[in-house]
């Protein structure tokens, strides 16, 4: 029997705006979820990961905050395309190629 553990966190951005981040670990075998120290470490990992995701969001928001809509869209599109290429390289070659 396997288990899942997850976390969701709602961050307030101000002006009645919120953003929600979450993370999940699926397929935890019974021999691990019966050990409280393992589950505690997994929960901590989820919390740290969600916090890191939010900080990455804040950094990205700062990077594009001063740009025009067109410039920010171009920058985000480039970042998305680079990430797709990295994922493709990881899947096909097992590594990310330096550009």
pLDDT tens per residue across all 99 residues of the chain:
899 999 999 999 999 999 999 999 999 999 998 999 999 999 999 999 999 999 999 999 999 988 999 999 999 999 999 999 999 999 998 766 655
Contact, 11 vs 20, CB < 8 A? yes
Assigned token pair, 91: 């899947």
CA dist 21 → 1, 66, 94, 99 (Å): 28, 24, 28, 31
Q: Could you tell me the residue ranges of all domains in the chain?
A: 2-65, 68-99
How high is the pLDDT of residue 7?
96
Residue 95's pLDDT is 67
pTM (whole model) above 0.75 = yes
How far is 45 from 23, CA to CA, in rounded Å? 10
* DSSP designation for 90: H
Tokens found for residue 35: 């050990």
Residue 70 Cα distances to 15, 28, 38, 39, 47, angstroms: 24, 44, 47, 45, 34
């Amino acid at each position: 029997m396997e288990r899942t553990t997850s976390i969701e966190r709602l961050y307030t951005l101000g002006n009645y705006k919120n953003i929600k981040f979450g993370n999940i670990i699926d397929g935890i075998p019974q021999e691990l979820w019966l050990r409280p120290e393992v589950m505690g470490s997994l929960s901590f990992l989820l919390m740290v990961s969600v916090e890191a995701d939010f900080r990455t969001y804040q950094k990205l928001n700062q990077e594009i905050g001063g740009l025009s809509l067109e410039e920010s869209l171009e920058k985000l599109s480039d970042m998305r395309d680079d990430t797709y290429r990295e994922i493709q390289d990881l899947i096909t070659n097992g590594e990310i190629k330096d550009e």
